[in-house]
Amino acid sequence: MKALIIGAGQGRRLLPLTEVEPKALLDIGGKSLLEWQVDALAERGVAEIVFLAGFNLPAVERSLERLGRRWPQTQFRAVYNPFYGVADNLATCWMARAEMQGDFLLLNSDTLFSPPVLHTLLDSAPAPISLAVDHKSRYDDDDMKVELDGSRLLDIGKTLPGERVHGESIGMLLFRGEGPARFVAALEAAMLEPAALKQWYLSVIAALARETPVQAVTISGHAWCEIDYPVDIKKARQMVAGWHSAPQDAVASTGTS
């Protein structure tokens, strides 16, 4: 199994914290956000971890080198998007399409998650594309909202009207079987349009969901959070502090956007 971690952007909403360090390298309770992700992935046996980089590539490469010494059985490398400053993450994924051979995980570098989140997705029923989702009582404008028909994804986006919202994406997907090839083909088709430079890769998932079953996998009850703003750093540090004093399965889900 391979994992692709999307982290090309600077994370400007976290400035000045990200003035030099990419968001993925910020300290969260004694480890970088990337370290938390890698530890969970490597412990699960993920053999290759590819970071889709942009801002401050040398810092990312140094971190991957250190992680390689820590996890010698895991291969680490970076794929660089030199256009990260003018293109959104759909283009970043497109530049890494050669890495999308065979089954793989795709996750956002700003999603901090407890290992049970990862296990739930990896142990889900076979499907070409599986999307980890959570549920809560209300959703804000920044949540990546999902519309579902049972466990099938119908649509995904931040602007879905409230009556169609059944959950939110946590920024983690699993591609298996024919899923990788379908995703790559959809990325290539999307990049033929000029608007693609300003689109998120999840817009491709929304388009695929209209023709390919995309499975929504509920991870509710397991701890995770998205780190976009300084207040999220505080929440994330509180969350990992709780992991030292309680089993991670017992920690309430703390998804934020």
Give the chain's length: 257
Which DSSP category does 126 fall into? P
Q: Which domain holds residue 212?
A: 2-224
Flag whether 251 is in a domain.
no
**pLDDT single digits (tens) 195-232:** 888 899 999 999 999 988 999 999 999 999 999 999 99
Of the pLDDT bands very low, low, confident and very high (cuts 50, 70, 90), residue 251 is very low
Flag whether 153 is in a domain.
yes
**Does residue 247 surpass a pLDDT of 50?**
no
- Tokens for 182? 């379908």
CATH of the domain at 66: 3.90.550.10
Q: What is the pTM of this model?
A: 0.92
**Does residue 249 surpass a pLDDT of 90?**
no
Flag whether 232 is in a domain.
no
As beta bridge partners, residue 54 has: 56
Flag whether 233 is in a domain.
no
Q: Say what the pLDDT of residue 195 is.
A: 87
Of the pLDDT bands very low, low, confident and very high (cuts 50, 70, 90), residue 253 is very low
Proportion of the chain above pLDDT 70, given as a percent: 95
As beta bridge partners, residue 167 has: 146
Query: b/e map of 191-201 (b: 16 or more CB within 10 Å)?
Result: beeeebeebbb
The CB density around residue 178, as the number of other CB atoms within 10 Å, is: 11
Flag whether 117 is in a domain.
yes
Q: How far apart are CA 229 and CA 12, in angstroms?
A: 9
Of the pLDDT bands very low, low, confident and very high (cuts 50, 70, 90), residue 245 is low
Flag whether 254 is in a domain.
no
**Does residue 163 surpass a pLDDT of 70?**
yes
Flag whether 66 is in a domain.
yes
Count of domains forming the chain: 1
Q: How far apart are CA 235 and CA 60, in angstroms?
A: 24
Flag whether 236 is in a domain.
no
